Amino acid sequence: MKDKKKKKNLKNNIKNALKSYKTIIYISFLINIILLIFTYYTITSNKIYTFSGSDDYIEVKDGLIALNTDINLINGNNIKYINSKDYNIKSYKIGYYVMDNTKLVEIISNSIELEEEDIKLSELINNFTSFNIVEKNNIKKYFTPYKKSLIDKGLYLVLEAKTDTNETILSKVKLNMTKISKY
């Protein structure tokens, strides 16, 4: 009997509270605040960058990084070998990195050990097409929160190659980044 009475009192209290215009205003205000916070988070989480740069060995043009709450992508395939001297290589590694103080942190890289030594470095770089990565934001394989936080500090394209004469070629290009998103 007491349970029914308590339930009835609770229902009546809720009905009376909802009939009051003050309660409706408070609830509307709270909903608006929550929506404003969510909208601000969504807008500020959308970051789009373009990048380009060069050094003595390689040049990259028209690169793009987009980071948002849905997908993250990097498109940096427009890489060109620009050195006048070409090399036969045994192995190479090329990739995009971010800098944490003095340590490079890999976003994505590609490395190959070659069995034939008559492959030119310029051929490999000029025909390179594997830096077109699209990743859902919840996967976090390439774009972890740690790496995403370092992108504002700079992006690097690093090339390491070993020639057929055991000479090491190292190219570390600090890319010029331009943020094209508003926030």
For 111-155, the pLDDT digits (tens) are 989 887 678 999 989 888 788 899 998 998 999 999 999 998 899
Residue 23 has φ and ψ, to the nearest 5°, of -65, -40
Q: Per-residue b/e over 56-86, b at no fewer than 16 CB within 10 Å?
A: ebbbbeebebbbeeeebbbebeebebebeee
Structure tokens at 79: 């890489």
- Distance, in Å, from the CA atom of 159 to the CA atom of 95, rounded to the nearest integer, reads 7
**Residue 76's closest CA among 62, 97, 55, 92?**
62
pLDDT value for 151: 92
pLDDT value for 97: 96
68 or 1, higher pLDDT: 68
9 or 54, higher pLDDT: 54
Q: Vertex 121, ends 119 and 124: CA angle to 5°?
A: 80
Query: Over the Cα atoms of the chain, what is R_g?
Result: 27
Indicate whether 106 pLDDT > 80: yes
pTM comes to 0.80
Cβ partners under 8 Å of residue 131, min gap 6? 74, 75, 76, 77, 79, 96, 108, 110
Coil/strand/helix, residue 119: coil
Cβ partners under 8 Å of residue 76, min gap 6? 51, 60, 63, 64, 96, 131, 132, 157
